[in-house]
Structure 1
Amino acid sequence: MVMLALVMIITACSSGGGSSTATDAPKSAETPKPNDAKQKLVIYTGRDKNVFDVVLPKFNAKYPNIEVETLEMGAQQILERVRGEKANPQGDFWWGGTQSALMTAADEGLLDTYKPSGGDQVPALYKDAQDRWYGEMLLPEVIMYNSDVYKNKADAPQDWDDIIDPKYKGKIVIRDVLASGTMRTIYSAMIFRQGAADPQKGYDFLKKLDANTKEYAADPTQMQLKIERQEGAFTLWNLQDVMLQKELKKRPFDFVYPKSGAPILVDGVGLIKGAPNKDAAAKFYDFLFDPDIRAEMAEKLFQIPTRSDISKDKLPAWLNGLDLKPLDIDWKVMADKEKEWMGYWDQNIKGKGSK
């Protein structure tokens, strides 16, 4: 009887208060709803902080249960990271990548299939046929210059062939090419326009450009600082960032849209295959392509949307008045050849143009 009483006392103590055992189940009333459950979203991005300041607060307001973590890096660095993590993905969403990088990632099986809301309104030219990536915006690549150095716009280079003129020797600061999707696209386009079948003429062009280049800056911030301080007079960069720096940060920057046309980069996004937080990534994907968000991004951040159904009255005057002349480029060839061409440039041309 004494033993029985002890067992009853121990049993009573173990069932009251204290921590639950593994077999304890929460009451149904206490079970969190799926929509209320905390989620995480890891974004690999090449976007600027100005973009975060507009998009992320709105997304957080709509989805307060999703905790967003952003890791900032260049488009090529994102590709290399996603490739390296293929067996064990750590990121969920790729926000900001060149068409070439995204095409390569899709071909390597690094991106999942997903059609965002409004995906049918994005022209076929600006998306993957299998819905593995979508263009978010268009980025014409232009000649950015310091407007205090060239007070008369006509004194700045007016076309691509002008940038290799010896009179501009030491006037150019270039963002480190291999780490930048933007620069890899521009440099690959310079080769393509000389003849993709035999890249030697393109290599010769880039050697002359290297001879005129004063410095290769480690990142966009350093490149912009050097141009602002007149350590260089101009660079090659994307139109959106030029407008951001000029209009929002009031820096002495302006641009020349090359007379022969510009490579119009499709800057896109994709859902990383095997994403740990796929549901949260899909929500962000749909959010980015909302027409009101796209119109606001055009107004505040000078983005050119890929969605074709946004009415002109919602778009800013600067965009409605912009005449976009594309450089004739086969983007599939560019994607296929970019690694080879940029490898050759790095090994045989960079820093050797004046030798």
Structure 2
Amino acid sequence: MSLGQHRLLIIICALGLVCCALACGSRGTGPQRRLLIYTPHGQDMLRDFVARYKQANPDVDVQVVDMGSQEVLGRIRTEQNRPQADLWWGAAHTTFQTAADENLLAPYRPTWADKVPPEARDAQDRWYGTFETPEVIVYNSEAVAASDAPRDWDDVLDPKWRDKVLIRNPNPSDSMRAIFGAMIWRFYPQTNSPAGGYDWLRRLDANVHEYTADGTLLMQKLARREGLISLYNMPDARLYQEQKKLPVAYVIPSSGTPVVIDAIAIVRGAPHEEEARRFYEFVTTPESLIHAAQSYYRLPARTDIDRAQLPAWMNQPITRMKVDWNLLRREGGEWLKYWDTQIRGQAQK
């Protein structure tokens, strides 16, 4: 063997050893399981639950994309011919049902399927409810006394709140879509049309100082007194009050409030469906739901949860507004389009 051939043999052997070492290292320490989640649940809650899952499943590479509910729906639509996400965790049941009707979700019947009421699950197992989300009136608790805060929806229309109301842009937000839809639904049965609800939204627009881009900006501006009153969901209002220490408080409207079912689903064609099922089950155990209630103010949808382990305020009765969710789902897009083009920012200040 020539010197050149000898050197070539050494190089080949060395490369073989490196490749072998890398392969062994990958088998020993590298993640073999993967999971991609689309969710609007917010970074604090996401980091917590991903860390908990990885503690029990250290060989899983979990990636999370945090975006608004409507953005998730749009992205899954765009990717339907080549799905990227495995799991969709969080959005209104109406949004999930739209996705189910478009064949974007895979059927999966969780082990606790009979522990939620019929209205909190899809009849074909394509989504299941995880949390209940009541909508509330929020106010700056330093600038507005509790006795002076609006007690019901129509109180927010009082001229004394002119230019003092902040509203999150409803287009990407399921909570705001539910509130706007419910306000239209209140008047819909009287005329079988959205006209009365549009009038209500016009009166609201007259009091609006700003439509903010997202919920974080909404709460920050409310805390800075750029506005004093808002409409939003109870869990987020509670989180900003207790964890972020912002001067905000809320009122559950006395006549009743729409309660949105927050849900979970596996994406049809998910690249890692088995892992998606494992995470699905993990975040919906009684232990996980109680943790979400205690730490993130999420009201569990499961009926078998030990209510004694929930915060006391979660066991207080809520007057639920009766809403035709199917009508809101079918017509809500057109209603919002009308608001966006014919009502938003049109009021004389």
On whether the aligned pair clears a TM of 0.5, the verdict is: yes
1:43-63 deviations in whole A, cap 9, x for unaligned? Answer: 111112221243111111111
1:94 deviates by 1.0
Looking at structure 2, the residues matched to 99 and 243 of structure 1 have their Cα atoms a distance apart, in angstroms, of 22
Contact 1:117 1:290 in 2 (8 A): no
Paired residues in the alignment total 340
Is 1:116 aligned to residue 110 of structure 2? Answer: yes
Pairs within 5 Å for 1:199-238: 199-238=194-233
> CA distance change for structure 1 residues 39 and 166 in 2, over 3 Å: closer, same or farther?
same
| Matching residue of 2:13 | 17
Looking at structure 1, the residues matched to 287 and 122 of structure 2 have their Cα atoms a distance apart, in angstroms, of 23
**Which among 86, 89, 94 is matched to residue 100 of structure 1?**
94
> For 1:149, what is the secondary structure of its paired residue?
coil
| Matching residue of 2:327 | 333
> CA distance change for structure 1 residues 217 and 71 in 2, over 3 Å: closer, same or farther?
same
> For 1:342, what is the secondary structure of its paired residue?
helix
Pairs within 5 Å for 1:54-73: 54-73=48-67
| Matching residue of 1:172 | 165
**Which among 282, 292, 301 is matched to residue 297 of structure 1?**
292
Looking at structure 2, the residues matched to 343 and 235 of structure 1 have their Cα atoms a distance apart, in angstroms, of 21
> For 1:69, what is the secondary structure of its paired residue?
strand
1:179 deviates by 1.3
Q: Give the superposed CA RMSD.
A: 2.5
Is 1:242 aligned to residue 233 of structure 2? Answer: no
Contact 2:120 2:261 in 1 (8 A): yes
Q: TM-score, normalised by structure 2?
A: 0.91
> For 1:227, what is the secondary structure of its paired residue?
helix
Contact 2:31 2:61 in 1 (8 A): no
1:113-135 deviations in whole A, cap 9, x for unaligned? Answer: 11223222111111111111111
Looking at structure 1, the residues matched to 229 and 130 of structure 2 have their Cα atoms a distance apart, in angstroms, of 27
Pairs within 5 Å for 1:1-355: 17=13, 38-151=32-145, 153-195=146-188, 197-320=192-315, 322-354=316-348
1:142-195 deviations in whole A, cap 9, x for unaligned? Answer: 0011101112x1211111111122221111111111111111111011101111
1:83 deviates by 1.0
Q: TM-score, normalised by structure 1?
A: 0.89
1:352 deviates by 0.9
The sequence identity of aligned pairs, in percent, is 38
Contact 1:210 1:354 in 2 (8 A): no
> CA distance change for structure 1 residues 195 and 279 in 2, over 3 Å: closer, same or farther?
same
> For 1:17, what is the secondary structure of its paired residue?
helix
